[in-house]
Structure 1
């Protein structure tokens, strides 16, 4: 089974586009993020994010076995907590993505959104580390997300292993291990969509595996839809080559490809069938 836990929508994709991409890449389940970076959608425009969430809800509707939709909200907006509740309870989205741009996760003004996510027991994906705008990395340090421990109903993934602050990200995740919390019940896990440039990747992944274990790591391509399946497959190949170099065993690989994300999403790790009735060929074993 393969879960791609980090796929960006742009607003240009159709449902058929997405399913074809997943089929071609032999991905069972895609976690789709509502658009927020271009095409009239912006993190600084809450009205555009409401449109983005509606677009995503329409796209995934009827295909929830393959497509898991994550709302995007700006927690600085006084209506954001209400928007998140609407996205989940009315639109049917199943999680939330947030990017700290112009706000710190520990600020009082953003806690109401975290409280709703906790009440609804949502999986939450945060950007962590340097951000593409070249300005917002200072808001995205991994330790800033420790405040989510005040909202124990949340299941948090920090994207990109917080690069370049990967040691700090690992330390955040290590707390659950120190206290004996099983990985599937831990509040923090990390996607290994590549923030680190190629020269850093082996060292970053090796350190995370040695300290946290595969049960705290999950695959995400960080691709932008619409795109051909070969783009997702290429990102998967990058990870496979690293796992081969590090001699990671099959059980750990299965955690990275699907087990960690399945626990995060509250889904069964049992494989589903791809479109057109053809079964998935296992990726790693």
Structure 2
């Protein structure tokens, strides 16, 4: 029986797989391996599954990810890995073809990081991407809130944090594309109140709690996750930045209702992504 689904896990593919580490992901202090085989075994031992993805920001950094490689890892470890593709939104028609490839590869969604990929999600130039994802039934996962990517570098490495705001960016897309399933990654600090407003208002939007050790998650997010948006919040670790072991340990100490815990840990994301075929039994 699958006890949880970690909705936010990084895998390095393509050019990034050949680096010693992903420049945009901080290695966990426990030193756990981020090699996909080791990750699969970790989740297997924990009786969990993981939504895995990379970030293709080739236009900005010159580093291209590979959806074919990611799909290969999912095929190798189908009992623990659920695949999301990644698309560089600046590639025009090629980006649309890449979304179609993600669908053909059997991936369940597409990951975007507006700040790292340097784009405003509600720019009309990117509407064909959202139209295609909605048409093909692919969910989209958007980074929201601040980011540690390039933190401390001169000018923050040129990264603009504004692109992580839920309002107007996510709210605008959710309004224009009501059939598009959208997941906001992370408590969107310092705009987490905006995030909660979008969750309450837009039926097609959910969020994950990744990137924050549970004891540091803003109290308003915990309150709403325990009450008004309890059906729209997912467990996510952000591994390898944060281990699922630590996240689960600290989550167990939060004042979450017994009826809500399984929703956050598994049931909500199963329903939102249509994963009952994977977790049955």
Alignment of 1:62-141 (within 5 A): 62-78=76-92, 79-89=94-104, 91-101=105-115, 102-133=118-149, 134=156, 135-141=159-165
Displacement after TM superposition at 1:35 (Å): 4.8
Residue 211 of structure 2 is aligned to residue 194 of structure 1: yes
Gaps of 5+ in 2: 18-33, 150-155
Between the aligned partners of 2:148 and 2:267, the Cα distance in structure 1 is: 29
Q: Sort the Cα spacing of 1:205 and 1:271 in 2 relative to 1 into closer, same or farther, 3 A.
A: same
Displacement after TM superposition at 1:116 (Å): 0.7
Cα deviation digits, residues 11-42 of structure 1 (max 9, x gap): 35555323211123331x21001255xxxx74
Between the aligned partners of 2:258 and 2:273, the Cα distance in structure 1 is: 22
Between the aligned partners of 1:43 and 1:30, the Cα distance in structure 2 is: 28
Contact 1:115 1:151 in 2 (8 A): yes
- Which residue of 2 is the match for residue 147 of structure 1? 172
Between the aligned partners of 1:14 and 1:194, the Cα distance in structure 2 is: 19
Secondary structure of the corresponding residue to residue 148 of structure 2? coil
Cα deviation digits, residues 109-158 of structure 1 (max 9, x gap): 11111111110111211100012234331111011111222222321110
Residue 44 of structure 2 is aligned to residue 20 of structure 1: no
Contact 1:158 1:191 in 2 (8 A): yes
Q: Tell me which of 217, 222, 231 is aligned to 2:233.
A: 217
Secondary structure of the corresponding residue to residue 61 of structure 1? helix
Between the aligned partners of 1:197 and 1:252, the Cα distance in structure 2 is: 15
Residue 197 of structure 2 is aligned to residue 171 of structure 1: yes
Between the aligned partners of 2:262 and 2:194, the Cα distance in structure 1 is: 25
Between the aligned partners of 1:196 and 1:111, the Cα distance in structure 2 is: 34
Displacement after TM superposition at 1:53 (Å): 1.1
Q: TM-score, normalising length from structure 2?
A: 0.79
Contact 2:196 2:221 in 1 (8 A): no
Between the aligned partners of 1:197 and 1:220, the Cα distance in structure 2 is: 10
Q: TM-score, normalising length from structure 1?
A: 0.78
Displacement after TM superposition at 1:85 (Å): 0.7
Between the aligned partners of 1:30 and 1:124, the Cα distance in structure 2 is: 16
- Which residue of 1 is the match for residue 6 of structure 2? 4
Between the aligned partners of 1:270 and 1:112, the Cα distance in structure 2 is: 30
Contact 2:6 2:236 in 1 (8 A): yes
Secondary structure of the corresponding residue to residue 7 of structure 1? strand
Between the aligned partners of 2:214 and 2:64, the Cα distance in structure 1 is: 31
Contact 2:86 2:112 in 1 (8 A): yes
- Which residue of 1 is the match for residue 25 of structure 2? none
Between the aligned partners of 2:68 and 2:61, the Cα distance in structure 1 is: 15
- Which residue of 2 is the match for residue 239 of structure 1? 251
Report the aligned-residue RMSD: 2.6
Q: Which runs of 4+ in 1 moved over 6 A?
A: none
Displacement after TM superposition at 1:108 (Å): 0.9
